[in-house]
Amino acid sequence: MNQFKIWQIGLIYSVLIVGIIFAMPNFYPTKPALQVGFGASSSVLNTNIFQSVTSELEGKSIEFEKIELNDNSLKIIFDDVENQLAGRRALAEYSDGDFIIALNSEPSTPEWLRSLGGKPVNLGLDLAGGIHFLLEVDTKRYSQERLSSEGASLVEEFLSRNINASYSSTGSEIKLSFINSNNLEQAREYLNQNNFITSGSKYAISQSGNNINLQYTNEYLAEIIDYAVEQNLVALRNRVNELGVSEPIVQRQGRSRIVVELPGVQDSTSAKKIIGKTANLEFRLEARPNDSFLRKESFPFKNQPGRTVFLEKVIVLTGDNVTNAQSSFDENGRPQVNINLDIDGGRAMQNATKDNSAKVLGKGRNLGVLLIEEKTKTYFDENDNVIQEKVPVRQIISNAEIQNTLGTSFRITGLGSSQEASELALLLRAGALAAPMTFVEEQTIGPSLGQENIEKGINSVIIGFILVFIFMLIRYKLFGLSANIALMSNLILVTAIMSTVGATLTLPGIAGIVLTVGMAVDANVLIFARISEELKANVDPQNAIRNGFSKAFSTIMDANITTLLVALILYAIGTGPIKGFAVTLSIGIVTSIFTAILVTRSLVNFIYGYRRIEELKI
């Protein structure tokens, strides 16, 4: 007799039931929602805002279902789109344009399902509509700029040690030239002492005549490029957050590229402007007490409410010149921030500080650092068109005494804690991009196209499935019915896994699912063909079924494993559409092995396994 044990049946069907539960969130309709953010400059997010937003909406009798307070944003869910839009207008007015409000749709997954971790599948841009950018970090220019700025500071360092040196940089190399071998030896000693050229450090060194050539070692180059790309990623995330997009994606792709995906956004020009905006730091000397008001301006401190200071109107340099800023500790273990400038910045800094340092004046003047944040105020007119206004907000993040003449690298000391130091370093870096970037790919997909793609995709799955269903039923009767139920379970499991692991469904992804429908049947066809062969060889029906399943098994495994290998290679090497296809194909293959063999078997057992069969046809 062909029977599964109770626990085997239990196991198979509990997998299916779990699958059904986790596929369910995809079948609940979505509800209109608003996501309200409060911008980088505001830290007022607390229960007060929660209450005032609630009463504002209630006061204007705008109906909403509920308000949720997340990490740093509010989510308001409405019953209909009218209330959603009215709510958006009301909150923009209420906040005087300060709130960052994004239209959103919230799945109406019931609470119990959500608490189990159930959520609907993420839709790719081709299905949801939106903008896709691919940016390339110009790593070559970045490393060149860095090298030449380091060349400049090395020469400065040598001159201060009375070593006569000059430098020139050629692409991937700095050439340090000395007037005689004596100077050269001293320079080498210095480089040795500072661990610049010991093994495993940043430079590879070569010598020719009175020149020393320094090159970044490959490891060091990889390290700084990695750092620069990560830094750009942080800066981009901050900028993208300003756009007020719900669930944007800012992700690294490969060694030096960054993908930005903005679902729901259509205006690529303004999105590009915000993503591509330039640095926003200014270094200015603190004004002398007797400077006229024509020459100075008063600015507030960012972290000390109420405190203000007068800075000169002359800008020494901007964030464009900052190449790096990092917190560390000085010789005495006190926190400090090390800042690196490019050559122009270093020169400007030298000019500005040489007559104003403590070394010259006894008591040095202060150098202030201003952070300029472009705040976007967003309003909506009667027709719900977006009206945006940009207001720059300047705040002081550091105002420290100049101890000595400063060049391309200097440090800010006297910071209260290491936390303060790392925050300052972050701010110094945050605005600026560590390395220059260019757009290499850009795509906008209208919302109607996304909707159309979803419909087309779902229709082709349904029609393909029905065609296969009918064919299998006609060709294999009851066996075909079992295969069809298995096929349906396969679709459910693929949906459940895609939703649970947070994979993104794209149009090629849907094609991958359609293809697995076609291929999943293959396993069943193989099994049924074997059973029919066994029957022809006069094996009795029960044994024929048993042999059919076991003889087809290794073929099915071999065939599926090789296809899975191909799908994994596609996933590893492919980008964009290919990846989407590979994801669903791989998941589909794995689940189809389970459903086509075990689910079908359990159904066949259920139909035939518990009785004597005189005659079996297939």
Partner 1 sequence: MNIPFVRYNNLGFITSSTLIVIACISLLFKGLNLGQEFTGGIALQLKYDQKAELPKIRSSLSKIENVDFKVNNFGSDNEVKITFQSDTELNITVDTVKNQLEADNYLGKVVMTATVFPQIGEELRDKGGIAILVAMLVILVYIIFRFQIKFGYGAIAALFHDVLIILGIFSVFGLDFDLSVLAAILAIVGYSLNDSIVVSDRIRENFLDQNKKGSPEVLINDSLNQVFARTIITSFTTLLVLISLLVVGGEDLRNFSLALAIGVIIGSYSSIFIVVKVLLATNLSKKDMEKPKNEPEESYSLD
| Single-letter code of the amino acid located at 21 | I
CB atoms within 10 A of CB 259: 17
Query: Which residue is it, tokens 């591509």?
Result: 276
Give me the least distance between CB of 418 and partner 1, in Å please: 42
Q: Which of residues 187-246 bind partner 1 (CB under 8 A)?
A: none
> Token digits for 396?
């002081």
Exactly one of 222, 314, 387, 578 binds partner 1 (CB under 8 A); that residue is: 578
Give me the least distance between CB of 269 and partner 1, in Å please: 7
Exactly one of 228, 526, 587, 603 binds partner 1 (CB under 8 A); that residue is: 526
The CA-atom distances, in angstroms, between 596 and each of 150, 240, 333, 486, 564 are 64, 45, 66, 6, 16
The CA-atom distances, in angstroms, between 385 and each of 85, 268, 378 are 11, 16, 10
Closest CA to 217 of 206, 227, 209: 206
Whole-angstrom distance, CA of residue 550 vs CA of residue 556: 10
C-beta of 303 vs 550, nearer to partner 1: 550
Residues 538-577: x/- map of binding to partner 1 (CB under 8 A)? --------x--xx--xxx-xxxxxxx-xxx-xx--xxxxx
Give me the least distance between CB of 546 and partner 1, in Å please: 6
Q: Does 264 bind partner 1 (CB under 8 A)?
A: no
Residue 86, class by beta-carbon neighbours within 10 Å (0-12 exposed, 13-18 middle, 19+ buried)? buried
C-beta of 16 vs 397, nearer to partner 1: 16
Whole-angstrom distance, CA of residue 348 vs CA of residue 410: 13
Exactly one of 116, 386, 485, 515 binds partner 1 (CB under 8 A); that residue is: 515
Exactly one of 15, 325, 511, 593 binds partner 1 (CB under 8 A); that residue is: 511
C-beta of 301 vs 439, nearer to partner 1: 439
Whole-angstrom distance, CA of residue 178 vs CA of residue 24: 74
Whole-angstrom distance, CA of residue 145 vs CA of residue 143: 5
Exactly one of 234, 386, 525, 613 binds partner 1 (CB under 8 A); that residue is: 525
C-beta of 117 vs 254, nearer to partner 1: 254
C-beta of 276 vs 464, nearer to partner 1: 464
Give me the least distance between CB of 179 and partner 1, in Å please: 44
C-beta of 582 vs 603, nearer to partner 1: 582
Q: Which of residues 596-615 bind partner 1 (CB under 8 A)?
A: 598, 601, 605
Give me the least distance between CB of 570 and partner 1, in Å please: 5
Residues 488-507: x/- map of binding to partner 1 (CB under 8 A)? -------------------x
CB atoms within 10 A of CB 97: 19
DSSP one-letter string for 387-452: EEEEEEEEEEEEEEE--S---SEEEE---S-HHHHHHHHHHHHHSS-SS-EEEEEEEEE-HHHHHH
The CA-atom distances, in angstroms, between 426 and each of 32, 234, 321, 324, 458 are 36, 10, 16, 10, 46
Q: What's phi and psi for 64, nearest 5 deg? A: -140, 160
Exactly one of 585, 587, 593, 604 binds partner 1 (CB under 8 A); that residue is: 585
Residues 136-155: x/- map of binding to partner 1 (CB under 8 A)? x-------------------
Give me the least distance between CB of 582 and partner 1, in Å please: 8
C-beta of 44 vs 470, nearer to partner 1: 470
Whole-angstrom distance, CA of residue 597 vs CA of residue 588: 14
C-beta of 82 vs 452, nearer to partner 1: 452
C-beta of 493 vs 596, nearer to partner 1: 596
C-beta of 253 vs 326, nearer to partner 1: 253
Q: Are 244 and 37 in contact (CB under 8 A)?
A: yes
Give me the least distance between CB of 526 and partner 1, in Å please: 6
> Token digits for 439?
């757009």
Whole-angstrom distance, CA of residue 195 vs CA of residue 188: 11
CB atoms within 10 A of CB 156: 17
Size of the site for partner 1 (CB under 8 A): 78
Closest CA to 264 of 33, 42, 580: 33
C-beta of 195 vs 459, nearer to partner 1: 459
Three-state secondary-structure class, residue 142: helix
Q: Which of residues 23-52 bind partner 1 (CB under 8 A)?
A: none
Exactly one of 268, 356, 357, 504 binds partner 1 (CB under 8 A); that residue is: 268
C-beta of 143 vs 516, nearer to partner 1: 516
Query: What's the Rg (C-alpha) of the chain?
Result: 33
Q: In three state form, how does the secondary structure of 279-340 look?
A: CCEEEEEECCCCCCCCCEEEEEECCCCCCEEEEECCCCEEHHHEEEEEEEECCCCCEEEEEE
Give me the least distance between CB of 13 and partner 1, in Å please: 14
Give me the least distance between CB of 540 and partner 1, in Å please: 15
C-beta of 355 vs 452, nearer to partner 1: 452
C-beta of 33 vs 131, nearer to partner 1: 131
Give me the least distance between CB of 381 and partner 1, in Å please: 21
Q: Which of residues 94-133 bind partner 1 (CB under 8 A)?
A: 126
Give me the least distance between CB of 468 and partner 1, in Å please: 5
Residue 73, class by beta-carbon neighbours within 10 Å (0-12 exposed, 13-18 middle, 19+ buried)? buried
Give me the least distance between CB of 596 and partner 1, in Å please: 12
Give me the least distance between CB of 300 and partner 1, in Å please: 40
Give me the least distance between CB of 49 and partner 1, in Å please: 38
Q: Which of residues 440-479 bind partner 1 (CB under 8 A)?
A: 440-446, 448-449, 452-453, 456-457, 459-460, 463-465, 467-468, 471-472, 475
Whole-angstrom distance, CA of residue 115 vs CA of residue 246: 22
